[in-house]
Amino acid sequence: MAYNCYANRELSWLKFNERVLEEAADEQVPFAERLSFISIFQSNLDEFFMVRVGSLHDRMMVSKEDRDNKTNMTCKEQIDAILKDVHEMSQKKDRIYESLMKKAETEGISLVNFASLTMEEAEYMEQYFNNEIKPLLSPQVIGKKQPFPFLKNREIYAVVVLRTARNNEKLGIVPCSNEVFKRLIPVPSESRRFMLVEELILHFAPQIFESYSVKSKSLIRIIRNADIDADEASYDEDLDYRDIMSELIRKRRKLCPVKLEFSRTINENIIGIICDYLEIDVNQAFYSSAPLDLSFVSIIRDLLREKKELFYERRIPQKSPFIDEERSIIEQIKEKDKLLSYPYESMKPFLKLLEEAGQDPDVVSIKMTLYRVARMSKVVELLIDAAENGKEVIVLVELRARFDEENNIEWSRRLEDAGCRIIYGLDKLKVHSKLCLITRKGENQVEYITQIGTGNYNEKTAKLYTDLSLMTSSIDIGIETARIFNALALGKVVESSQKLLVAPKCLQNKVVDMIDEEIAAAKNGEDAYIGLKLNSLTDKVIIDKLIEASKAGVRIEMIIRGICCIVAGIPGETENIRVISIVGRFLEHSRIYIFGTAVRRKIYIASADFMTRNTTRRVEVAVPILDEDIKVRILELFTTMLSDGVKAREQKPDGTYEKITVKEGEAAFNSQELLFQQSYDNVNGIAE
C-alpha cells in the first residue's frame, strides 16, 4: 500500500489529543490521574476549536482555495475532516468518561440524577433549588421582543422547548454558569453523592417556565473563535500597547461560535434552529452523553486525596548534583557551564542566580524575555528587587502570549512601576525565546552570564513540564545574546549569528545547512545521524530536507510529542526515519537538536519547534552545547526517552500511533519515572 509521507497539521494534532485521551483509559495510570487526563483532553479540544478551527474559518472566508502546503487540502476539506474525527473521538470520550464514573463509585463517589434519588433526597434537592438556585437565575423566552441572547464562550446553558396555551412552540434559555453556584451539589446521604448544578436546573425547568409546558430540554455549550491577530488588528496608534491588547481581549470574547455541544437527544429541528441563531452548520453540533464541562473532576480528585494509591507517587524536583547551592552561582558558572533539567531538578539555582545578580555590586544589568510566567511569579519579584537595588533591568514582556495576555499585561505594569524598562516585542513577530543576560564589570573586561532555555520562566510549569536550562559564562554566547537584546530594543531582528541559531533570519537556514552536512556525510559513506526532540514538526522546508536526508541514508530519530507532519517508515521516502511520541505524567516540552556523530556531533537546546511560525515568524534562539560533560548528559536524556517502552507510542507508515512493544526478555521502563528516580539517586549519592 502506498502512503503519503506528509500529514495534515490539524489532523495530526487530533491524533496527539487522542493519545492524551488514551491516558484516561489506561488502567495502569492511577485513577485520579486518569480523571485529569480526560479533563485535559477536553480543555485541549476547546482551545483547538477556539484557535485552529477558528483560524480555518477565517481563512476560508478570505479565500476558498487557500490550501495546506503539505496535503493540498482546502480549509473546508480540513474542517470537514476535523469534524468527522472529532465526532468519532467524542463517542470514545463518552465511553471512557462512563467507565471512569463507574470506577469513582467503587471509590465511594458518585454523580446522580433525579431518577436515583429517594423521595426524601428529591425533596431536599427541590428545596435547595428553590432557596439557593432559582432566585439567582435569569431565564429568557426567545421571541420578537426577546432576541436570542449572547451566549458566553464555554459556559453552559439549559435550552427548553416550550409549548404555549395556543399550542405554539418557543425556546427558553437559562444560563447555568454562575460564580455563586457550586458546580457539584451534595446529596444528603451517608455516601458522597453529588448532582451537577446544570442537571438540577434542567430538571426544574418546568418550575422556571411555569406558564408553559416543557416539550423537551437539553444543556448546550458553545466554543467561540478566539483567533485574534494583534498585529493585523486596526487600532489607534496613540494608545498604549497594553490598552490595545486589553481591547483585543474584550473583542475575543464576542467572536463567532465554531462549535455547539448538547447533552440530550433533542428534536433535530431544534438543534437546527439553535445552529441558525448561532450561524453555524449542523455538522458543528456535537452530542455528548458526558457532562459538557469536565473541569469538575478536579473536585473529585480533591475528595480522593486521602487515597494516595489513586495518585502518582509524589515527586519533588531535586538539587542538581552539579551545583553547590552554598556557593556563589555566578562563580560556579564562570568555572563551568551548568545545565538544569526540569522537573527532575529544581529551578532554585536559576532563581538564586537572579537573586545574586540583583545584589552583586559588579552586576550592571539584567535583561530578560518573558513569555509565560506564573500567577505569583518569583522570577518577576526578583527582577523588581534588582531594579530597586539600582540595577538596570530590561524586560521584554510578550503581551501576545495567547491566553496569558491579561497576566502579562499586569506583570508589565508592576515591572514598569518598579523602575524596569519594558519592551513589548516586535511588529508581526512574537518573541518566544527564553533568554536571560546578566552583564558584569570584570577585572579587565565585561563579563556575561547567559541563561538560555527551552521553557518559560514559570515556577509552576517547571514542576510539570520537561525543560532544559543552560547557564554559561561563554563570552561569545554572551556577546551574541547582547546583540539580540539590542536588536529587540531597536525593534529589529538579528540578521546573522555565529554560535546561536536565531529565528527568524538565521535558524531555519542553519538547520537546513546542518541537515545538508549529514546528507553529504552519508553520500561519502560516513555515519550520518540526526536526532530531534520537539513539540511539533510542521515546517515544510525542514520536512522536505529531512525526507531528502532519509533517501540519502541518514538515520533520523525524532521524539515529537504533538503535531508531526512527516510520516515515518515509508519505503523509498522516509524509511530511515523513526518517530515516537511520549505522553505521560509530565508534559514533554524540551527541544533538542542533534546533528552528526562522534567528533562531528553538534548539540543544541532551543525554544523553537520546527514549525513555520517558530522558524520564520518568531524570535527564537537555539544555543550550542559546548561543554563535553553536558553533551553527554543530553545524549543520555535523549537515548533514555528513545528507549521508553511504557509511555512512548511509535508512528506507523499509515500515520497512526501504537504503543511500543518491548522485545521478549527486556524490561520496559517509563523514561520520566526513570529520570526522576535518577535525580533522587544523584542527590543520595552526594549525601553519601
Q: Give the residue numbers annotated as catalytic, written as ranges.
A: 432
What's the farthest any 2 CA atoms get from each other in the chain?
A: 94
Q: Which of 227, 303, 304, 270 is closest to 61 using CA atoms?
A: 227
N- to C-terminal Cα distance for the chain? Answer: 58
Element of type H or E holding 617 = none
Q: DSSP readout, 83-132?
A: HHHHHHHHHHHHHHHHHHHHHHHHTTEEE--GGG--HHHHHHHHHHIIII
Residue listed under C-alpha cell 515516537: 580
Cα 442 to the center of its chain, rounded Å: 41
Q: Which grid cell is 225? A: 473563535
The rounded distance, in Å, linking the Cα atoms of 31 and 257 is 34
Q: Which grid cell is 106? A: 467503587
Q: Which of 171, 185, 173 is closest to 143 using CA atoms?
A: 171
The rounded distance, in Å, linking the Cα atoms of 583 and 490 is 41
The rounded distance, in Å, linking the Cα atoms of 433 and 423 is 14
Q: DSSP readout, 485-518?
A: HHHHHTT------SSSEEETTBSHHHHHHHHHHH
The rounded distance, in Å, linking the Cα atoms of 57 and 151 is 19
The rounded distance, in Å, linking the Cα atoms of 464 and 455 is 11
CB 256, CB 298: distance < 8 Å: no
- β strands within 132-254, DSSP E: 140-142, 156-163, 169-175, 184-187, 192-196, 213-224
CB 271, CB 171: distance < 8 Å: no
Let me know if 682 is exposed, middle or buried by CB neighbors in 10 A (0-12, 13-18, 19+): middle
CB 399, CB 426: distance < 8 Å: no
